[in-house]
Amino acid sequence: MAIETGGWVTMGEVAERAGVSKITVSRVLRSPDKVKQETRERVRAAIAELGYVPDEAAGGLSSRRSRIVGAVISTLAGSTFASTVDGLGDRLRQNGHQLLLAGTDYSSAREADAVAAMLGRRPDGLVLTSTTHRDDTRRTLEASRIPVVEIWELPVDPIGYAVGFSNRDAGAAMARHLLAAGRRRMAFIGTAGEDDRRGRLRYDGFAEVLEQSGVAEVRATAAASGTQTARGARGLAAVLERWPDTDAVFCSSDTLALGALSEARRRGLTVPEDIAIAGFGDFEFAGEFGLGLTTVRVPGPDIGEVAAQLILDVNAGLEPPSRTVDLGFQVIARATT
């Protein structure tokens, strides 16, 4: 039965109503077992009657714990990071923390702004999807002494911690898969934007294996604008124009692969007979009841959960066994290769 005051009920008002002091109300909220059961119940009743909602900002100011974790994500659309953010938010919620989100659209200038804005909230931790930052961003982060977790890649020298997998190894694994399937003239289709860092790593691993195999050739292309599917389609067109004998393409994302698939169909090519097509990410649409696309599955939600746990642990004084957590990946062979 919340009483409408037009403003917010304060802890003092709850205390008065319960006939105790503010600090006792605070204890009922933060460490209930330090309060005698009878008192506790009286306070809880007052809280309920008044519809009291503790002001976390005030609490954080005092305790120097904001219970906020910031996530700086390149973009939610494209669905790459969506499940990671879900996992992150979930684990934080379970531990009484909240998630502050900012998007950068793959711009390191916007990343810098987002980081600055988040630091203004004195977050208990920060999660970044990018692993390349402006120098000043990195310095600011290092100076902040806040636990920082870079995700979706394993940088050699992380700012704080890293949770993800090796994009390079993933590219290499796909190369081996295609080699084993008998493919020899393979192309890589990526994007040419700023978001291409991870794609570049996938390409590097892919190309290295092929070169070392001594039996296969590599070709690469990237389209710079348009939707991802359009880029995939144009990418495949470009590849086939230049290297008509290509027998397999590895796309830097499932969405690109879908574009390539549609282009192949348009050209009357049969997949995988005429050409094999593989993607990256194992998005839902790539699955068994969708495209049936060969791809690389990465542990999206786990990355978020582990990143959150790392921050919680560090703040609880636990020293993590390692600054880097490799969650691996898995090549999923389906019907397109």
Give me the residues that bind DNA (CB under 7 A), please. 7-8, 10-12, 19-27, 29-30, 34-36, 38-40, 52, 54-55, 58-59, 61-65
Chain-centroid distance of CA 333 in Å reads 24
3-state secondary structure (DSSP) of residue 297: strand
Is the separation of the CB atoms in 252 and 151 below 8 Å? no
Find where tokens 């600055």 sit.
Answer: 116
Residue 83 touches which member of DNA, a copy of itself, none, C-beta under 5-8 Å by kind: a copy of itself
CB of 33 to a copy of itself, least distance (A): 22
Rounded CA separation 281/212 (Å): 25
Q: Count interface residues toward a copy of itself (CB under 8 A).
A: 67
Of the two residues 61 and 318, which places its CB atom closer to a copy of itself in the complex? 61
Rounded CA separation 14/27 (Å): 13
Residue 63 touches which member of a copy of itself, DNA, none, C-beta under 5-8 Å by kind: DNA
Site for a copy of itself in 78-117 (CB under 8 A): 78-79, 82-83, 85-86, 89-90, 93, 98-103, 113-114, 116-117
| Residue 215 binding a copy of itself, by CB under 8 A | no
Rounded CA separation 192/336 (Å): 24
CB of 82 to a copy of itself, least distance (A): 4
Q: Which amino acid, residue 181?
A: A
Residue 4 touches which member of DNA, a copy of itself, none, C-beta under 5-8 Å by kind: a copy of itself
Of the two residues 108 and 262, which places its CB atom closer to a copy of itself in the complex? 262
The DSSP secondary structure of 259-286, one letter per residue, reads HHHHHHHHTT--TTTT-EEE-SB--GGG
Site for a copy of itself in 289-308 (CB under 8 A): 289-292, 301
Rounded CA separation 250/209 (Å): 13
